Each structure stands twice: as C-alpha cells, then as structure tokens.
Structure 1
Amino acid sequence: MHRLVPLILPIALTVTTPAGAKICTPAWVAGWASAQFRPAGDAQLPVGTLTDRTLRQIVRPSIAGDRLRVRFSNLAGTKPLRIAGASIARARGPAAASVDPGTLISLRFDGAPEVVIPAGADYLSDPVSLPAKALDTIAISIRYGGEPEQTSHPGSRATSWHLPGDHLTDATMAGAASFDHWFNLAALEVERCAPAKLIVALGDSITDGKGSTTNGNDRWTDVLAQRLQADPKHRDVAIVNQGIGGNRLLDDGLGPNALARLDRDVLAQPGVSHMILLEGINDLGMLTRDAPVSEDAHRAHVARIIGAYRQIIARARAKGVKVIGATIMPFVGNDYYHADAQNEADRQAVNGWIRTPGNFEAVIDFDRVTRDPAHPDRLLPAYDDGDALHPSPTGYKAMGEAIPLSLFD
C-alpha cells in the first residue's frame, strides 16, 4: 500500500536508501474469479428482479494483498451496462449481508462514481486501499441503474442479497431478498509487493462445486486454497475457480466451450502461472445420451477430446503457463448420462492419454482418488453426492488433499 506522506526536512538533509534494501515493485494477481456467461433456464432471473436495485455479493480472495480492485463484466450484454455505483467492504461472514461499516469504501471508475460498460466488455474499478488477508470474506455491492441484461455465474454456491434503491453504504441490508448466483462480477484482484503465482482451475460442475455446501467454501479448489495458505512455503500461491456447470471441451452447454473461453477465463488472469484442467466428462456423457453411436464415432470423439487438450496445452505453454492435467472421474450409474461399457472405454482411453508422460507438465489423478476399488467405473460411495457423477463435500475434500503442493514450487 502506498500513501503520500508529507515530510518537513532540513534543506541539507539527503535521503538515501540503505544498502541492500529491496525496492517494492507492486504487481496485481487475481485473488478470486468467476466465469461469466449468459444464464438460461432456471438460472435466469425474472425480468425486473435487479431493476434499480443494490446487489451485494460475497467473495473470498485466496491470497493476501495491500490494495484491491474489482473487475465487473458485461460479457453477455448486447448493449451498454450502466452501473450507478459500487462499494466494497469486509463482510461479517459468508452467509450474511452485513458488513463492517468501518471498512466500507465507495468504488470509483476513472475517478467517477459510476460507469457504463460496453457490450461484451469487462471494466476494472480504480484500486482501493483495503488490505485483505487470504481467505477473507469480502462484500462487493452494485447499484444498477435501470434493468441490467444478465451476465452471470449461476453456480456460485454463495448467497447474494438485493434491495430496491441505493444501499451501497448500508451496513446490514435488513430485509434483503436473496438468491445463490453471482452477477456481473468477474474477478477480485489484489495488489502486493511480494511475488505471487496464480493457479487457474478450468473445469465443469465438478470444479464449479456442484454437491458442495452453499456458503461452505468446500469445493476442491477451496480445500487446495486452504492448504496453500496453511503452508508457509506456498502462501504466495493464489487459486481461482473458473468452473462452469455443464461445461464441455467441444460444444457449448451452460456457457461457452472450454476452447472458446480459454483466453478470457485463464490466460488473461493477472499473474497466472499454472492451470489445472479438469474437463471432458460432459463431452463423454453427451455423446450417447440420446442414442447409441458407432464404434467409429466413439473413436473419433475420443480423438477430438484429445485434440482439444492439445490445443489448450499449446496455447497455455505459449504464454508460459504450466498445464496440469486431471484425470476424468468415473460416472457409470449416473441417470442423466447412463454410461455403458463403451463410454467407460472412452474414459479410460482419454485418461490413458492424460497420464502419458510428456502430454501435460504434471498429472493429478482424481480418477484414482475418487473411484471405488471394488467397482472402478463408479465413484466411491463415501465420495458420491448421490447422482454417481458429482462428489460430496467429503469427496471434494479428498480431491483437494490429494494435490501435491510441490506442483507449484
């Protein structure tokens, strides 16, 4: 944090830097992020829900910093988005709208209290001096001017609150309505003097945390963040979760396909040094969800999935990012995909490629961690949230604890 402090010094006094002193070169790193897209179906709010309202959303940075700035998003908008005001504060906790009033700061945009964000664009707030500890709970409030088009991250697993009118400096937001989504909130970036690394987890609902506890911060990425901060050697490593429920490598689903969002959601994140890639289970399942396909179609589909991995690896390596592959977990028994022996053979073929040395810089074997030894095509019952596809909080804990921290040295 830098402040200008007036000093009254004798004219003859010379200020020198002590020999060997280190000069701070501040740098920004993403401390928290969410993949934004156009919501659909039940994830879309009824028209008028956010009109001329204040929306307070809770996030948790994974690394400490001296100053903060917020990246707001109008990614799915077809017209400019007017934000009539915004504020930031320390929240009282992850499951309440109240904040510490002594920390409330109004956000500015190029010095102004409001901003108009062009269609399809993101916009950074001006930095504010609000030192944050790793795993702090931070509240970001938005005042909408009019009816916003919806750009969202539906699978927040975090509660947001809204009230009519201007409540940017309201410490309690008493009587606020709530829902469990994030809107127009792409990232919280932190500035720090100490060097930092950033892991971006790119994935689907298993990364997004379906089956985890609302406001519990117990996704596998949360478990990893806690482990990193508990280890003095790795407190300089941040992690952000860019999972989208239903996401695929090859086709759009709930949100754009992984190849289409790679640049924005991963490579554009400030400080990114590592990526963990856990994608492909929805591609494998959707192939035969509606009808069987030929053996040739199965082989071609596996080849396309591997081709998508190659593209992601090549593009990330070109930016100096270390790409860590995660094996696809079992899903036989899931009623939505009703996988058979051929789907399982496809999964084994893809995992075989992931495990082959030289394809990824490193491998996290989530398949080995979560499968049932007696039925290796199925999740271990203790780790199954009940649909034979998504882990329970116990399963996410096992996943997060299985990742060697040495991967990020």
Structure 2
Amino acid sequence: MNHLPEITATRRRCLSVVVFTALSTAAVFPSAVGRAETAPRWTGTWEAAPSGTAPALPGTSIRNVVHIGVGGSDARIRLSNRLGTAPLRLDAVTVAVALRRGGSAAGAGAVPGSLHTATFDGARSVTVPPGQDRVTDAVRLTVPADADLLVTVHTPADCGPATYHRTSLQPAFLARGGNHAADTPAAAYTHRVSHWYYVTGVDVLRRTAPDSVVALGDSLTDGTGSSYGTDHRWPDLLSRRVRELPAERRPGILNAGISGNRLLRDGVGPSALKRLDADVFSRTGVRTLIVFEGVNDLKGTPPQTDPGAFVRAYRRIVKEAHAHGIRVIGATLTPFGGHSAWTPAREGLRHAVNAQIRSGVFDAVADFDAAVRDPGRPDRIRPVYDSGDHLHLDDAGMAALAAAVDLTGSGG
C-alpha cells in the first residue's frame, strides 16, 4: 500500500520582513527556490483539511470538483477515512479534467478523453482503515495549471460516517443507484452538495520547483465571505499571483483552512496545534507554512484571554515546522469590530497578540491586519472588504490578503 510522502528534514534559512506597497509582507518565495530539477518530482497542488463527518452515501458515486494551481504530467490523489469509525470501501476512483465555462467548472461533465481510473498498488479498489489516509498510484493524466479536476469515488456500501470538508464553496455532484465513476457525461449526476467527500489532496509530477506552501487557518482561509463557485479564497488568489513568477519558481498553494477552527482548542476539527502532522507535515514538498489562526480563540466560548498562550502555541508551531525543514510566516489577526462577538477587551487582546506576531515569533510576518483594517476605525475592516458580518472578507478583501504576500524574494 502506498505510503504518505515524506518531507526532508532540512532546516531552511529564516526569512526577513520586507516592505511592499506600504504593507509589511512575507517573502514566501525567495530566489533560492528557483532551482533547476533534473528529474520530475511530486508537489502538492490542492488540499482540503478534513473538518468533520457526514452520513455515509452507500451506492453513490461522488464527483468532487477541485481547483488546482500548478499543473504537471501525472497526478495522484489523497483519500481520507481519518474521521471515520469503520473501514472505508471504495470500489472505483477516477480522475478527469472538468469541462469549463466562464473560467470555472461547468458541472459534472469531463473533458472527453481525460477520464482515468486511479489504482492502489495496481488494484482498482481500496479499503481505508479508520483514522488513515491512502494515496493513489500515479495517474497518467496531463494536468493543466489553473484547472478544475473531477475526483470521483464510488462507495458500494454503508461504511459509517464519511470524512468530509464541510465548506467547499462550490458544488460536488452525486449519482445514486450505481457506479458512475467512469462516466464522462454529467447526466447521472443529478444531485448537488457543497462539501468535498473523502478527497483531501492532489499532487502533480513536475520537473521544476517541486515545492508547496500550506495556508493553515480558519474560516478566513477557508473562504467564508467570498463568492460561491469562483475560487476567490485568498490562497486561491495567491495561487494566481504566483503565475507572475518564472515557471521554475511557482509553488503549489495548499489550503488547510477549516471554518470554525481554533489555534488552541479543539472545535470544528482538531486545533491547529493538533493537526500539524496531518494537514501540514504529511503534505508533499512543503517548504513554507503560513499561519493565520487565532481569531476564533479571541471570540469563542470560552474566549482565550492570555496573549502568552498564543505566543507559546505559535512558538511550538515554528519549532515543529523547523524540524521538518519548513519556514513559517505568521499572519496578524484581522479586525472584527462591529461583529456581535467584539468587545474592547478582545480588541485589546488582538492588538497584544499582533504585537507579538510582529516582534519576531515567526520567521517572517504577513501583516493581514494592516492590509484590510479601516484607517479611520482600525478596530474594523474596511467597508469595501466587509462581506457584511464585520468579520469575514469579501472577494476584494481576500484579494487584499493575497496581495500582502511578497513574491519578489527581496527579503530572502
């Protein structure tokens, strides 16, 4: 059975902070990344962190639509039963390039000739024990950059609670009453849901820069507030920005955001501290981690009141990441004045935590607070960036976060 990819434990140089368009930004992609590769290697290009479980869908083909950044000559898929309680039986897994219309997936239909069957050590079916993931063999599929893939699984029987990512912000498609995993047309896929079932990662085989960046966060990273079906989460927009770089320096951007997630406590999904191994270190080719976690700890129940607890957690993340040869960028916590959970005390704590983030806890800082706060009311986000609840960002706000990450490498 395939083993999960290992990450080289080579400590990387720390990054310094650079100033770009009047914002404090993080040099995530230093020029040292731009190295020629002599042989193809795997890199991560898409991720969804498991956030909970849903009822099983026996006898159903589940067609997940996933938007990838960097492309490659082959693909492999990570499937998860991490939160399940019984063995997960999949008797068919296929991968295809989605038909597109208007820049996004047109539905459940595949580009003719692009649909391929995925195998596991040569077998077309797999049983995934509870608490574990499996990665497919290489699928001989040319994956275009900035494309939508269809990852379809068929579950022949009730295997108990299904591991899923609840907030996909785009539809997945269900075909009931038979195995339709190999269907190229969309006709059988008559039911829509807004979750990703079982699929939690896509890797591609590349000849250059097989490196990836993980964005670890909560709903602000998961995309809440951005437009449905447009891939306007800030990691998606950062992935589009890296197209400004030479081809050999374009990393995959992996979104490990979970709506409702916390830094210090379990809630929706394990805490950020507890999911580092599964959602960061096990991913392919990771060299940079962006940590944007803590707002839910400020406003949650019970709320965290000790800024030292945040600092200790951040330092632990940095220490563990460095042991895996990964640099860490800390993102400052964005304002939420006007939200029902805001209080002056929580605003004071946010400032205290941000002061610590800016003081050198991380290898570098992405000042997301400065990128979106209202200069006239710095406890609030700019009205033009406000999705309406005074906490989550709209498409323009997501773009502001993506723009606050430096691509020049001048600080490296």
User: Same fold, TM exceeding 0.5?
Assistant: yes
Distance 1:27 1:353 in 2: 38
Distance 1:23 1:142 in 2: 33
Of structures 1 and 2, the one with the larger relative CO (CA 8 A, separation 6+) is 2
Moved over 4 A (4+): none
In structure 1, the residue matched to 2:164 is 152
Alignment of 1:4-403 (within 5 A): 24-39=38-53, 44=54, 47=55, 50-93=57-100, 94-148=105-159, 149-164=161-176, 165-174=178-187, 176-232=190-246, 235-286=249-300, 298=305, 301-335=306-340, 337=341, 339-356=342-359, 358-403=360-405
Counterpart amino acid of residue 356 in structure 2: W
Q: 3-state DSSP class of the match of 1:252? A: coil
Counterpart amino acid of residue 116 in structure 2: I
Shift of 1:128: 1.2
Q: Which structure has the bigger radius of gyration?
A: 1
Alignment length (residue pairs)? 369
Distance 1:107 1:250 in 2: 38
Task: Decide whether aligned partners of structure 1 residues 238 and 380 sit closer, same or farther in structure 2, where only a CA change above 3 A counts.
Answer: same
In structure 1, the residue matched to 2:28 is none
Counterpart amino acid of residue 163 in structure 2: T
Counterpart amino acid of residue 68 in structure 1: A
TM-score by length of 1: 0.87
Q: Do the aligned partners of 2:37 and 2:208 also contact (CA within 8 Å) in 1?
A: no
Task: Decide whether aligned partners of structure 1 residues 139 and 310 sit closer, same or farther in structure 2, where only a CA change above 3 A counts.
Answer: same
Distance 1:140 1:288 in 2: 39
Q: What percent identity do the matched residue pairs reach?
A: 38
Shift of 1:235: 4.5
Distance 1:376 1:287 in 2: 24
TM-score by length of 2: 0.86
Shift of 1:81: 0.3
Q: 3-state DSSP class of the match of 1:75? A: coil
Q: Do the aligned partners of 2:78 and 2:135 also contact (CA within 8 Å) in 1?
A: yes
Task: Decide whether aligned partners of structure 1 residues 230 and 133 sit closer, same or farther in structure 2, where only a CA change above 3 A counts.
Answer: farther
Shift of 1:318: 1.2
In structure 2, the residue matched to 1:16 is none
Distance 2:208 2:247 in 1: 13
Q: Do the aligned partners of 2:94 and 2:115 also contact (CA within 8 Å) in 1?
A: yes
Measured on the aligned residues, the alpha-carbon RMSD in Å equals 1.7
Distance 1:73 1:206 in 2: 24
Q: 3-state DSSP class of the match of 1:70? A: strand
Distance 1:197 1:388 in 2: 35
Q: 3-state DSSP class of the match of 2:232? A: coil
Distance 2:247 2:135 in 1: 31
Distance 2:247 2:139 in 1: 28
Counterpart amino acid of residue 337 in structure 2: V
Greater shift after overlay, 363-372 or 125-134?
Answer: 125-134
In structure 1, the residue matched to 2:25 is none
Shift of 1:233: 5.9
Q: Deviations over 1:191-215 (max 9, x none)?
A: 1122322110000000000011222
Distance 1:384 1:266 in 2: 29
Q: 3-state DSSP class of the match of 2:68? A: coil
Distance 2:37 2:386 in 1: 50
Shift of 1:234: 6.4
Q: Deviations over 1:115-170 (max 9, x none)?
A: 00111100011111111122111111101121232101011112100011111121
